[in-house]
Structure 1
Amino acid sequence: MGQKVNPNGFRLGISKKQNANWYAKGKDFSTNLIQDLKVREFLKTRLKNSSISKIELERSADSFVVNIHTARPGIIIGKRGEEIENLKKSIQKIVKGPSQINIKEVRKPDLDAQILAEGVAQQLEKRVMFRRAMKRTVQSALRQSAKGVRIEVSGRLNGAEIARTEWYREGRVPLHTLRADINYGTAEALTTYGIIGVKVWVYTGEITEDPYKSDLGAS
């Protein structure tokens, strides 16, 4: 089961937290959910090459807060903060209310599965051989103290007639262990032969603390 399930969803409440934090009743729930999806899609398109790790959304009675985790905060903020102001205005139009954007820097991007997946996808789009791209990415993560990394690519690899799946792994990646800190990310490479899917698993150790402990303490 651990082999097939999304590692992030499999560990929610155990070693992972939700990327959206709000509560709504009745029809407001569907409205908020649609707005969340639109905001995520907008930011994913607008900040495609900004090394985004994850986007966290929070709501209160009078505000909408977006926390963007990125390895390249300067690109998102822009010159004199112009780019982030434009993003803020666009988000306010989507949610029809005041919004706030917080930029949080990812200190070790080589251990972030989402950033690694997008890096592999960019290499594939530049026609780098898929095995070389996978091996290079795995080794860069292991140099940053990762205990195990697995990368999987699917599609018409190297322009082959028949689509297939190839993977490369070094170290341990225990998908069945719920307390294992598995960072998981996906990306798509748009090549001349079609779309190639990229999946990355990064194992950095075991988690013993409750991920919601800090939130409970703050409340």
Structure 2
Amino acid sequence: MTHEKILAQYIKEFEIKEYIKHHLKRVGYSTAKLVLTPLGEKIIISASRPGLIVGKRGQSIKQLTNTLKKKFNLENPQIEINEVTNPNLDPTIIGERVANSMEKFGSARFKGIGHKAMEDVMGAGALGVEILISGKIPSSRAKKWRFYQGYLKKSGDIAVNGVCVAYTAAELKSGTVGIQVRIMPPDLVLPDDIRIKKKSETAGVEQKKQEQASQSQQAQSETKSEEEAKPKQKKVRKEKKKEGYVEEPAAADDSEKVDSVKTDDPVQTEDSEKKTSDNP
């Protein structure tokens, strides 16, 4: 895929998410994800109230699939809906809840709305929460109100990847009010969270380590005994056949040279005997 196709795919996914977010208001919408499959496009929607998205006899979800197919030129869109297990820990759902209640009751009760949402989040077990409401509330001059409780990281990698953030807006008579929700989930592991274990907790771990060490030693001893019990195969060495050859005598000094006479030839031996007999 070229860069243009990749960018077009990301832009298309962003537009689909924005459309679903604006279309599914007051349903507890959380997230949407586009997945490409061999059969077509698959859209996974997470919400706190999936029954309202499906509708009576699945009419509303059929309308949504038809509109997505026509508007975004999708071949065979399939919508899958998942239910959010704990909506009080989802910042998108909390922000939508605050926006809906402010549109319903107005800006006069924004403090009670903010405190109630904060208590719901902390009651669900969150480590920390922060809700920022900015706009013309309660007067005609714009202000920013902050509701916070617990422990919340503001910098570092945990603030970027660990803290859940969501942005929503509420349309009031005085104008648009922005809502920002930050939640630190309870299962987040902090790097500065150091806990010293008690002896009772470490005793079981040490026993397990000793048992594992003893088992490994037993296994090693068993393997050694099996190897010793096996009969050793004798190594047969192949001896090379030595070819016959005659070793030449070592060269002697000039003073100690002696003429060598070969006695293997029978003719030479007879001639030498005759010469010795003729001479007196």
**Normalization by structure 2: what TM-score?**
0.61
1:173-195 alpha-carbon deviations (Å, 9 max, x no partner):
11324246312111101000000
2:109 is the alignment partner of 1:134 = no
Q: Counterpart in 2 of 1:89?
A: 66
2:151 is the alignment partner of 1:172 = yes
| CA distance in 1 between partners of 2:89 and 2:182 (Å) | 10
The number of equivalent residue pairs is: 184
**Aligned AA for 2:56?**
K
| CA distance in 2 between partners of 1:176 and 1:31 (Å) | 33
| CA distance in 1 between partners of 2:2 and 2:64 (Å) | 28
Tell me if structure 2 keeps the 8 A contact 1:179–1:206.
no
Q: Percent identity?
A: 26
Q: Counterpart in 2 of 1:202?
A: 183
Q: 2:133 aligns with which of 139, 153, 156?
A: 153
Report the CA distance between 1:36 and its aligned residue.
1.8
Higher relative contact order (CA 8 A, sep 6+): 1
Question: 1:1-219 alignment to 2 at 5 Å?
Answer: 24-60=1-37, 62-93=39-70, 94-126=72-104, 127=106, 129-158=109-138, 160-179=139-158, 181-205=162-186, 207=188
Tell me if structure 2 keeps the 8 A contact 1:134–1:168.
yes
1:55 partner SS: strand
Report the CA distance between 1:62 and its aligned residue.
4.8
| CA distance in 2 between partners of 1:65 and 1:53 (Å) | 17
Tell me if structure 1 keeps the 8 A contact 2:135–2:176.
yes
1:83-131 alpha-carbon deviations (Å, 9 max, x no partner):
1121112222213311111101001111110100111111211215221
Q: Which moved more, 1:191-200 or 1:73-82?
A: 73-82
Gaps of 5+ in 2: 190-280
| CA distance in 2 between partners of 1:114 and 1:166 (Å) | 19
Tell me if structure 2 keeps the 8 A contact 1:111–1:144.
yes
| CA distance in 1 between partners of 2:86 and 2:125 (Å) | 10
Structure with the higher strand share, 1 or 2: 1
Structure with the higher helix share, 1 or 2: 2
**Aligned AA for 1:174?**
K
Q: Which moved more, 1:135-144 or 1:199-208?
A: 199-208
Give the number of the structure whose alpha-carbon radius of gyration is greater. 2
Pick closer, same or farther for the CA change 1:177–1:207 going to 2, 3 Å: farther
2:5 partner SS: helix
RMSD: 1.8
Report the CA distance between 1:204 and its aligned residue.
1.5
Report the CA distance between 1:77 and its aligned residue.
0.8
1:15-67 alpha-carbon deviations (Å, 9 max, x no partner):
xxxxxxxxx42432243233223312321222111111111112245521111
| CA distance in 2 between partners of 1:80 and 1:32 (Å) | 32
1:98 partner SS: coil
1:64-85 alpha-carbon deviations (Å, 9 max, x no partner):
1111010000000111212112
| CA distance in 1 between partners of 2:14 and 2:85 (Å) | 27
Gaps of 5+ in 1: 1-23, 209-219
| CA distance in 2 between partners of 1:135 and 1:96 (Å) | 43
Pick closer, same or farther for the CA change 1:61–1:28 going to 2, 3 Å: farther
